[in-house]
Structure 1
Amino acid sequence: MSYTPPPRDPKAPPVRVNLLSDTQTRPTPAMREAMARAEVGDEQSGDDPTVHELCGRVAALLGKEAAVFMPSGTMCNVAATLVHCRPGDEILAHETAHIISREGGAHAALGGFQVTQLKGPDGQFTPQTFRAALHPRSRYQPPQTVVSVEQTANIGGGTIWKKTALDEIVQIAKAQGMATHMDGARLLNATVATGIPAAEMTAGWDSAWIDFSKGLGAPIGGALAGSAAFIDEVWRWKQRLGGSMRQAGIVAAACIYALDHHVDRLAEDHANARALARGLSQIQGVEVQEPETNLVFFKPDGAGVSGDKMVGELRKRGVLLAMMDGRIRACTHLDVSAGMIEETVGHVREIVRTA
């Protein structure tokens, strides 16, 4: 099995609608202009003013003392657990969480951590499930050090953790002396959908981060926030992992532009996701999960078309979607218009009709 992504097939049809992921977004012309004008310095030496501005903005946004700019969200998750835990410690997370299913086993490979998988519908576990998974401190069992949630829950369908559940999980964790970590890759989708400010959503969580390369449309980057002492230790791991950068202000400027211009517009992605779900649900035999944010999961099996066949047929028409956890996932973002949603529904209807 190859671990290197193959280059795009030059014979493949041109892409008309890209619903693979919100990571497929391209920097807008205005964002590129902001990047070109960015004031820069050596980020690794603490001399990049644009990176400093971004970190200050994120710390304030999430209600934390400090923040650090990272090349990727995965590095945010990995560095956070490497600070919170010691080898042999146990992390509790949902069985479909990104730290389990999409990070190459980094937490076990780099930190020697055990990740206990908690069950629950729609990518979320209940506070009761979390409490039931706790065990007394004993030399026979690993120390339970961290509980992690993913806001929004990707494989769960882009579902939003309710504030009451987040608060209760924090209370349980603190009573056990555990640290709390929020994978906030799509946290701002949740805040836009609910109207709850990000700082309220992350209140009580020792570490949290946001991604800029998904719905916010920047080319790369995430920012991890927490206490000043925590971020100081994260910097040590950022250095060890090769995440320290030089003139990073060029990409940090894209992230600042995204915070200024691309947060409120996430509501458009949510509206397009609802329109896509509505159109698909009107096709007989297509089972659709009602979206809460910008992710739409559906199964066409009842219409006599397998998910793999549907994805393949759509690709022939220049529409890109992905299979994930046995279902088809469509992800709306700033490069997807309402017209593209209508076109996608039309293609699915045609494929079902000729099946």
Structure 2
Amino acid sequence: MIDLRSDTVTQPTEAMRKAMANAPVGDDVYGDDPSVNRLQQRAAEMLGFEDALFTTSGTQANLLALMSHCDRGDEYICGQQAHNYKYEAGGAAVLGSIQPQPIANNLDGTLPLDQVVAAIKPNDIHFPRTKLLSLENTIGGKVLPQSYLAEAQQLAFYHGLKIHLDGARIANAAVAQGLKIADIAQHFDSVSVCLSKGLCAPVGSLLLGDEHFISRARRWRKMLGGGMRQAGILAAAAEIALTEQVERLADDHANAAALAAGLAEIDELAAGIEVHTNMVFVQISPELMPSLVETLYEQGILISAAKQLRLVTHKDVSSADVQLVVNVCKAFFSRLP
């Protein structure tokens, strides 16, 4: 199957499978798994932080960040479309007793900084304590400009807030701008990085910050059931994801651009296509959606369809696959009355 539902479906590379089979391991809860320790040290150096923590998922990494920056009754400011607000089961509120303060995202994914300032609560017993500003990059495939990140960092510093980045796809943002990941990460007190999306690791995310922050996060991780034992088997693949799969993301971006260009040749779709990094969004009539999904499935193509189509390119989608998807879509629309 050509699976365009998400880059979470990527298969680990052969190098990852070999590394997993041969990884030296220990007990990571005791802190003596050499493969985990090497991954964490290498990630911290690569992104410019004091320390790093290997976690089971991006959701866990973000939750650990929120719980490590904030105490019970505190508040974090984020976007209405932020993953750690909208798509992570309310973990901050349920498990951390932390109140989210969402703000509507601009069309480019940024948060209007004047509204961020207005949302910061005064030092008054009637209000939760605003402790954290949380951004996401990429968000909906969109890259936040470096100049905006610098402004957000300055705002957070001026108002005494910490600033966290949900960097699930920070590597895509870096590649799209011709930057190093550290160039983006430098604007934040903490960053989460997902290794199991476009970077192809089978499991795992990283949380990065200073030593005190990571020490708090490690304790929360244990409490939340995230303390793993011989986790080096997973860390071995995660290290390859971080060191060998980042530059390859440019291929995914090129395939997404080619997919968007091909679909734009279809009159019924041309006006409703957006492409950002490795994601193509397509507006389509709701009445046609079920039959298009079924037609694509019959041709061995899986897509994600809700209010719009989101087509995600990744390592396991080739340029030939992209052309096949375009051809099937053209044939589908050509048969419409």
The answer to whether TM tops 0.5 is yes
Deviations 1:69-104 (A, max 9, x none): 001110000011011112222211110110122111
Q: Which range moves more in the overlay, 81-90 or 217-226?
A: 81-90
Q: Does 1:132 align with 2:118?
A: yes
Q: Does 1:318 align with 2:304?
A: no
Q: Does 1:62 align with 2:47?
A: yes
- Of 166, 170, 189, which aligns to 1:206? 189
Query: Aligned pairs, how many?
Result: 334
Other-structure match for 1:18: 3
Q: Which range moves more in the overlay, 35-44 or 267-276?
A: 35-44
Q: Secondary structure at the match of 2:52?
A: strand
**1:22/1:333 contact within 8 Å kept:** yes
Q: Secondary structure at the match of 2:268?
A: coil
Identity of aligned residues (%): 40
Other-structure match for 2:134: 148
Q: Which range moves more in the overlay, 137-146 or 180-189?
A: 137-146
Other-structure match for 1:98: 83
- Of 171, 178, 184, which aligns to 1:195? 178
Q: Does 1:228 align with 2:211?
A: yes
- Partner amino acid, structure 1, of 2:268: G
Which stretches in structure 1 are left out of the alignment for 5+ residues? Answer: 1-14
Q: Secondary structure at the match of 2:67?
A: helix
Q: Which range moves more in the overlay, 117-126 or 83-92?
A: 117-126
**1:19/1:320 contact within 8 Å kept:** yes
Give, in angstroms, the shift of residue 318 of structure 1: 1.9
Q: Secondary structure at the match of 1:123?
A: coil
Mapped partners of 1:293, 1:243: distance in 2: 31
Q: Secondary structure at the match of 2:277?
A: coil
Other-structure match for 2:329: 348
- Partner amino acid, structure 2, of 1:273: A
**1:213/1:220 contact within 8 Å kept:** yes
Deviations 1:123-174 (A, max 9, x none): 32132332233343222221111111111003xxx00011111111111111
After TM superposition, where is structure 1 displaced by more than 4 Å over at least 4 residues in a row?
none
Q: Secondary structure at the match of 1:290?
A: strand
Q: Secondary structure at the match of 1:285?
A: helix
| Structure 2 CA distance for partners of 1:344 and 1:130, relative to 1, 3 Å | same
Q: Does 1:73 align with 2:58?
A: yes
Q: Secondary structure at the match of 1:67?
A: strand
Other-structure match for 1:7: none
Q: Does 1:238 align with 2:221?
A: yes
**1:49/1:249 contact within 8 Å kept:** yes
Mapped partners of 1:90, 1:258: distance in 2: 33
Which stretches in structure 2 are left out of the alignment for 5+ residues? Answer: none
| Structure 2 CA distance for partners of 1:71 and 1:346, relative to 1, 3 Å | same
Give, in angstroms, the shift of residue 306 of structure 1: 3.4
Mapped partners of 1:113, 1:354: distance in 2: 52
Deviations 1:2-25 (A, max 9, x none): xxxxxxxxxxxxx2x100111101
TM-score normalised per structure 2: 0.95
Q: Which range moves more in the overlay, 279-288 or 266-275?
A: 279-288
- Partner amino acid, structure 2, of 1:212: L
| Structure 2 CA distance for partners of 1:244 and 1:272, relative to 1, 3 Å | same
What does 1:164-203 correspond to in 2, within 5 Å? 164-203=147-186
- Partner amino acid, structure 1, of 2:210: S
**2:121/2:128 contact within 8 Å kept:** no
Deviations 1:246-289 (A, max 9, x none): 11111111011122321110000000000001111111021444
Q: Secondary structure at the match of 2:53?
A: strand
Mapped partners of 2:108, 2:288: distance in 1: 22
TM-score normalised per structure 1: 0.90
